[in-house]
Amino acid sequence: MRIITKLCLSLILIASVSPYSIAENNTTTIKGKVIDIASNEPVSFANVALEGTSIGAVTNFEGEFEIINVPAGNYQVIASCVGYRADKQEFNVKLGQANTLTFKMSEDFIGLDQVVVTADRNQISRKDAPVVVNSIGTKLLENTAASTMADGLMFSPGLRVENDCNNCGFSQVRMNGLEGPYTQILINSRPIFSGLAGVYGLEHIPPSMIQRIEVVRGGGSALFGGNAIAGTINVITKDPVSNSFKVGAKYSSVGTGVKASDKPAGDVLVDFNGSIVSEDKQSGIFLFGMKRNKDAWDANQDGFSDIVELKNLSAGFNAFHRLNDLSKLNLEYHLVDEFRRGGDQLDLPAHMSLIAEQVEHNINSGSITLDQYFSEERVNKLSVYASAQHIDRSSYYGAAQLKDDAGVDLPQPIFDNSAYGATQDLAISAGVQFFSHSDNLLFAPADITLGFENVYNKLKDKKLSYMDYATKTIEPTTIIANQSSNTIGAYAQSKWDLGFASFLLGARMDAYKIKNSVDHSEINNTVISPRANILFKLDEDMQLRLSYARGFRAPQIFDEDLHIEASAARRVIHKLSENLKAESSNSYTLSYDIDKSFGKVQTYFLAEGFYTDLNDSFVNEYSTNDENGNLVAYRKNSKGAIVKGVNFEFKVAPSYKLDFQMGMTLQSSEYKEKVEQGDLTEIKTDKMMRTPNHYGYFAMNWKPLHEFTTTISGNYSGSMDLIHFGVEKNANGVAIGDQLVKSSEFMDIGINFAYHFDLGGDVKLEFDLGVKNIFNSFQDDFDKGAYRDASWVYGPLNPRTIHFGIKIGNLL
């Protein structure tokens, strides 16, 4: 944080002496109004900005806006608002004259006319982007009653969110069939999610901080660095654009009406957000916060959790200050304080339970960005940024010994006092990016992007071997991992616009070093990742895209750490094998999409084929238990894998009263050779585990009244292969073998009703009532007891859940 503070002060000093400071006597004001072209009603809270600058304003409740301190000149002025198609006008701003503008905007019911940033690290229209970018907006998150980002990610083609452990509640997102570590999660295009943060990170991001989530499928290492083989999920946080507020609370009853369970679990969530913007629009801050308390839930009444207990506090801010008319400084901060516990006897200390996974996180993350233009033409832009995330984690992964070595029951359990751990993790990312537009580069107008960044990660993981509660001392301490990684990356790309087609060529070079001071190992490598994209505009409504990208994934320094996933409560430690090489991939996509309006009816259809050739893909090879009773999974390279399939997406909106969207994925994910999947029976298969060949979603919003919205949504998951650890048992009931099993298919359908009251002005009061997983399409064969397989989890995230919410604010 000291480094970031110094950088912040340096950037402010540089910008404060910039020759492009606003001169009050050489500026004027633009006034105007934004109206709905169909109803002629004002459009409130629309953004009106001078393209390529940080100068702009937001309309009030009457649709009126005022942009002050505008230098004289010729500008492209853009009016944009969520739910509307952007309107752009060329306008010549003159001193000493009245400068007025009127924008007439038409509704964009299905969000096709959006500006995205993940396609090529610059703002670009979604239709003009060289790759397909899917966007999950605030409207969808709220209408489907999403409690965290994880709940909303499943409403995008190619994405599926799953829970992988009923002891710790670890969840991950799979993109195009590849597991979580193959997808790079960014916050405002910055890679600050370390391997440790990614384990539970999907539940650390509250919807109240999200403006939209941009999803790009396919190899993205050429643009954003390692771990983007499957694709990229970019969380765009809300900006302060007007004085606003929202406060809400929601109660959910998890497992309501499920026969196997006596008692539903309560889930209470309170959140807020608000913005304050100065009168001159030169400064603003957006604040957000969420507090959540979720009880554990036992599906089969065996005394062991199947959904974990969770207490989470998340808060932060996003602030900006315009240093002058050509530069803007952004500062972000996010705090997470979380406790989660699974297993049995949750009211006792973790070491007094038969089995327990308990984790406490304290996470601080932040970023600073300076955007600087060099002339009033705004054709050259320099961005300097730095971000950091620090994690302080306390953990317990342990189980009591119930039987002796011969499998005979002990008179009383031997509790494990040596399973406490402490982990410190620091991730720092810093870089610079230069953008330039040329009216003619070689053969056509072009956008050029150059960048350099450094990503550093330091992790120290300790096992606290014994705790003396009388003296409150811990000794001795065993260091499990003391690892660091540093990646230096440089990238360059150029996008040419020929009108009927766009071509993008680019490449990135990453040099990484991974060191482990425990075993004194070191891994060094340099990777070059090229990228090529072609966009053909077949006509005004149809686009055809072809893409190639080479990706890579460096050996992970952390992957769930000590984790109870096998039967007999064995802890699993992941270690890197000697001479482990980075994974590499060649990713190819071909997509066709069409957005067409038939009168007032708006439609959109996408068909996207993908083929990813993985080389040296990581697999686990299990050893026998070590001297501490831990099962060691050595990560090694296999020959690779082939992932291929097709994504479909369809949207239709007859009017603002009704819209419908759905997506479907058909795919296969197979290794090039059979790889070991189990630990004792040495099961080998060429199938990737937990990867159904077909899955999808749908969501429909219906507004019979202006104040009333009904949302019906669903997620479908086909059958999948997975390992059931410890199915075979000996005569004493001790697990001795594993099985390869094919799961059932599931269809999770939910409904949500929302009704709001206008309290005057622009303030509304809204009530929500809904049911998730109405028909309780949920796993019904969880293992029981202390010797259960905690990773025997599949299907939807939650059983039938009834929820009720209330919120008040001026931006509902």
One-letter amino acid for residue 259 of the chain: K
Question: Within 13 Å of residue 671, how many CA atoms lie on the same side as its CB?
Answer: 19
Ramachandran quadrant class, 93 (left: phi over 0; alpha: psi -120 to 50; beta: rest): beta
- pLDDT for the residue 465: 64
H-helix or E-strand containing 220?
none
First-last CA distance in the chain: 35
Does 539 fall in a domain?
A: yes
Q: What is the DSSP letter of 14?
A: H
Least confident segment among 68-82, 141-155, 773-787: 68-82
Confidence label for 727 from pLDDT (cuts 50, 70 and 90): low
Q: What is the CATH number of the domain that holds 22?
A: 2.60.40.1120
C-alpha distances in Å from residue 572, one per residue of 188, 284, 564, 569: 34, 48, 6, 9
Q: 710 in a domain, yes or no?
A: yes
* Count: domains in the chain: 2
Q: Is the pLDDT of residue 119 over 60?
A: yes
Q: 57 with 154, same domain?
A: no
Distance, in Å, from the CA atom of 71 to the CA atom of 29, rounded to the nearest integer, reads: 9
User: In this model, does residue 486 exceed pLDDT 90?
Assistant: yes
The predicted structure's pLDDT at residue 496: 94
Confidence of residue 667 (pLDDT cuts 50, 70, 90): very high
| 71 and 191 co-located in one domain | no
Structure tokens at 630: 């831990």
Same domain, 370 and 508: yes
**Residue 357, token pair as written in the block:** 């996974």
CB 77 within 8 A of CB 56: no
pLDDT at 620 over 90: no
CB neighbours of residue 236 within 10 Å: 20
Q: Looking at 105, 138, 162, which one is the last position of a domain?
A: 105
What DSSP element (H or E) covers 428?
strand 420-441
Q: How far is CA 450 from CA 170, 510, 622, 694, 745, in A?
A: 37, 14, 44, 39, 46
Q: Please check the confidence at residue 523 and state whether its pLDDT lies above 50.
A: yes
Lowest mean pLDDT among 352-361, 400-409, 539-548: 400-409
Residue finishing a domain among 82, 105, 128: 105
- Can you give the pLDDT at residue 184? 87
- CATH label of the domain that carries residue 287: 2.40.170.20
- Greatest alpha-carbon pair distance for the chain in Å reads 95
CA dihedral 88, 92, 95, 98 (to 10 degrees): -60
Mean pLDDT, to the nearest integer, of 737-753? 91
Question: Does any domain span residue 110?
Answer: no
Pairing of strands 99-105, 27-36: parallel
Q: For 698-738, what is the HEC assignment?
A: EEEEEEEECCEEEEEEEEEECCCEEEEEEEEECCCCCEEEE
Question: d(Cα 348, Cα 601) in Å, to the nearest integer?
Answer: 59
Same domain, 676 and 731: yes
For residue range 674-694, what is the model confidence (pLDDT) as tens digits? 887 765 556 888 888 899 999
Residue 303 has pLDDT above 50, yes or no: yes
Residue 515 has φ and ψ, to the nearest 5°, of -125, 140
Angle made by CA atoms 769, 771, 777, in degrees to the nearest 5: 175
Amino acid 676: pLDDT: 75
What is the distance between the alpha carbons of residues 495 and 493, in angstroms, rounded to a whole number? 7
Q: Is the peptide bond before 476 cis (omega within 30 degrees of 0)?
A: yes
| pLDDT of the residue at 399 | 80
Q: What is the DSSP letter of 354?
A: S
Q: From start to end of 578-717, where are the E strands?
A: 583-598, 601-615, 618-625, 631-637, 640-655, 658-676, 684-687, 694-705, 708-717
177-192 per-position pLDDT tens digit? 888 888 888 888 887 7
Q: What are phi and psi of 97, to 5 degrees?
A: -125, 160
pLDDT at position 575 over 80: no
Q: What percent of the chain has pLDDT over 70?
A: 88
| Higher pLDDT among residues 151 and 1, named by residue | 151
Q: Over the stretch 386-412, which tens digit does the pLDDT of each residue have?
A: 999 999 999 888 887 777 666 677 777
124 in the same domain as 98: no
pLDDT for 16 equals 43
Q: Within a domain: residue 52?
A: yes
Q: Is the pLDDT of residue 428 over 50?
A: yes
- Is there a contact between 173 and 152 (Cβ–Cβ < 8 Å)? no
Q: How far apart are CA 647 and CA 365, in angstroms?
A: 34
Of 75, 105, 135, which closes a domain? Answer: 105
**Size (the chain), residues:** 812
pLDDT for residue 569 is more than 70: no
pLDDT at 766: 96
pLDDT given for residue 631 in this prediction:
65
Q: Do both 367 and 297 map to the same domain? A: yes
In a domain, 456, yes or no: yes
How many Cα atoms occupy the beta-carbon half-sphere of 653 within 13 Å? 20
561 pLDDT band, cuts 50/70/90, is very low
Spell out the residues 6+ positions from residue 627 whose beta carbon is closer than 8 angstroms to its own: none
Evaluate if residue 806 carries a pLDDT over 90. yes
CA-based R_g, the chain, Å:
27
Question: Mean pLDDT over residues 213-227, rounded?
Answer: 82
Say which residues have a Cβ less than 8 Å from residue 648's Cβ, sequence separation at least 6.
157, 605, 606, 607, 608, 663, 664, 665
Per-residue pLDDT at 567: 46
Measured between alpha carbons, how far is 553 from 249 in angstroms, rounded to an integer? 40
- Tell me the H-state helices in 463-589: none
- Residues 6 or more apart whose CB falls under 8 angstroms from that of 508 comprise 221, 222, 223, 225, 489, 490, 491, 492, 528, 529, 531
| Residue numbers of the domain that contains 68 | 2-105
Identify the bridge partners of residue 760 per DSSP, sorted by sequence position.
Answer: 763
Answer whether 341's CB lies under 8 Å from 356's CB. yes
Q: How many helices (H) and strands (E) does the chain have?
A: 5, 48
Question: Are residues 79 and 146 located together in one domain of the fold?
Answer: no
What pLDDT score does 23 carry? 40
The reported pTM is 0.87
Phi, psi (rounded to 5 degrees) for 253: -110, 105
82 & 209 share domain: no
Q: Which residues lie below 8 Å from residue 39, measured CB to CB, with a gap of 6+? A: none
Mean pLDDT of 302-325: 92
Find residue 532's DSSP bridge partners: 505, 548
Q: Which pair of tokens denotes residue 344?
A: 């049995």
Q: Are 513 and 488 in contact (CB under 8 A)?
A: no
Amino acid at 240: P
Do 99 and 123 lie in one domain? The reply is no
Instruction: Dump pLDDT digits (tens) for 224-280.
Output: 887 788 889 999 888 888 889 999 999 999 998 887 666 899 999 999 999 999 988
pLDDT on residue 680: 53
| Angular region, 448: left φ>0, alpha ψ -120 to 50, beta rest | beta
- Give a three-class secondary structure readout of 473-519: EECCEEEEEEEEEEEEEEEEEEEEECCCEEEEEEEEEEEEEEEECCC
**123 shares a domain with 100:** no
Helix (H, G, I), strand (E, B) or coil at 142: helix
Question: Which one-letter DSSP state was computed for residue 178?
Answer: B
C-alpha separations of 551 from 177, 185, 222, 233, 545 in Å:
16, 15, 6, 15, 19
Q: Each residue of 789-803: pLDDT tens digit?
A: 888 899 899 999 999
The residues pairing with 187 across neighbouring beta strands, listed in sequence order, are 190, 235
What's the whole-number mean pLDDT along residues 545-554?
90
Residue whose entry in the numeric block shows the structure tokens 């000996």: 730
Tell me the C-alpha distance between 691 and 722, whole Å: 8
Q: Read off the amino acid at residue 114.
A: Q
Cis peptide leading into residue 445 (ω within 30°):
no
- Band the pLDDT of 757: cuts 50, 70, 90: very high
| Top-ranked range on mean pLDDT: pick from 1-15, 659-673, 722-736 | 659-673
- Classify burial at 337, counting beta carbons within 10 Å of its beta carbon; exposed 0-12, middle 13-18, buried 19 or more: middle
Rounded CA gap, 590 and 545, in Å? Answer: 6
Whether 126 and 188 map to the same domain: the answer is yes
Q: Residues 451, 398: one domain?
A: yes
Q: Residue 202 is which amino acid? A: L
**C-alpha 639: how far from chain center:** 30
Per-residue pLDDT at 621: 72
Residue closest to 695 by CA, chosen among 137, 155, 132: 155
Average pLDDT, the chain: 84
3 state DSSP class of 131: coil
pLDDT band at 197 (very low <50, low <70, confident <90, very high): confident
CA dihedral (653, 145, 780, 265) in degrees, to 10, reads -160
Q: Are 774 and 749 in contact (CB under 8 A)?
A: yes
Could you tell me if residue 643 is inside a domain?
no
Instruction: Give the residues across from 493 on adjacent strands.
Output: 449, 506
Among candidates 197, 191, 152, 136, which has minimal Cα distance to 170?
197
- Does any domain span residue 329? yes
The residue ranking higher by pLDDT, 97 or 772, is 772
Residue 642 in domain: no
